[in-house]
Amino acid sequence: MAKKVTTYQFSKRFKKEYNKLPKEIQKTFDQKLQFILQDMFHPSLRVKRIQGTKTRWEGSVTMKYRFTFEFLENGLIFRAIGTHDILNRESQ
């Protein structure tokens, strides 16, 4: 698992959820994306595996908003973004 991410993509679900977020949260995620590209485990991202899963991970946009992703062979796929309750759906 590389610390530096070179490629990434967004799932259809992620794009849909992202577009529904408040503009301020979208802007904050865009800023956090730069951290992700430089250092996947930057402390402000609070990246960790989602409990009960083997391949799904979460990171923080803010204390209230999270994003989920999976590692691909060449990078990441962002799966979902929203309030903390998205983690309940992702762990099933």
Residue 7 has pLDDT above 70, yes or no: yes
pLDDT in tens, 10-62: 999 999 999 999 999 999 999 999 998 888 888 999 999 998 889 999 999 99
- Radius of gyration, CA atoms only, the chain: 12
The pLDDT of 55-74, averaged and rounded, is 92
Q: Are strands 8-10 and 76-83 parallel, antiparallel or unpaired?
A: parallel
12 torsion bin: left (phi>0), alpha (psi -120 to 50), beta (else): alpha
At residue 87, the pLDDT reads: 65
Q: What does pTM read for this prediction?
A: 0.86
